[in-house]
Amino acid sequence: MVEFCPKCGSVMVPRVINGKKVLVCPRCGYIKETNSGKKAVLSRKIRHDEREKTFVIDSKDSLKGLPKTKGVRCPKCGYDEAYYIILQTRSADEPPTRIYICARCGYTWREYE
Ligand SMILES: [Zn+2]
Ligand SMILES: [Zn+2]
C-alpha cells in the first residue's frame, strides 16, 4: 500500500526509527507513524533536523501559542492567515527561515527573510 506525504505529496518510504515502523517522506522529511492498532501518539513539539533542514509539525495543538500573521497567502487553500515560526539556521551566513502554517488547512511552507 502506497502512502503519500500529506505535506508535499511525495511517496512515503517505510523506515524503522527507534524500533518503530514509520513512514518517512524522502522529500520533506515528514514522518508518519504506522501504528495500526492504536491511534498514533502525536508529539507536540516541532522537530528540526539540521542536517536535512526539515521540520515536522505533527499536531495542530503544537500551533497553540504561536504568533499569527495576516497578509500571507496559503499556497494550498488561499487563506490569508497563518501561524509562523522563525528558524535560525546553523550557519550565520544564511538568513533565518520563516515557516508559515496555514491557520485553516495546516499546510506548511517556508520563506526566506
Ligand atoms: Zn513530504
Ligand atoms: Zn491553507
Give the predicted TM-score (pTM) of the model: 0.44
Taking only Cα atoms into account, the Rg of the chain, rounded to an integer number of angstroms, comes to 15
| First vs last C-alpha separation in the chain | 39
Closest ligand to Cα 103: 2
Residue partners of 32: CB distance under 8 A and separation at least 6:
3, 5, 6, 12, 22, 23, 24, 40
Question: Is pLDDT above 90 for 80?
Answer: yes
Of the residues 49, 52, 61, 94, only one is catalytic, namely: 94
Digit-coded pLDDT (tens) for 4-57 = 999 999 999 988 888 888 899 999 999 888 765 444 444 445 555 544 445 555
Q: How far is CA 45 from CA 59, 64, 87, 91, in A?
A: 8, 11, 14, 23
Class of domain 62-112: mainly beta
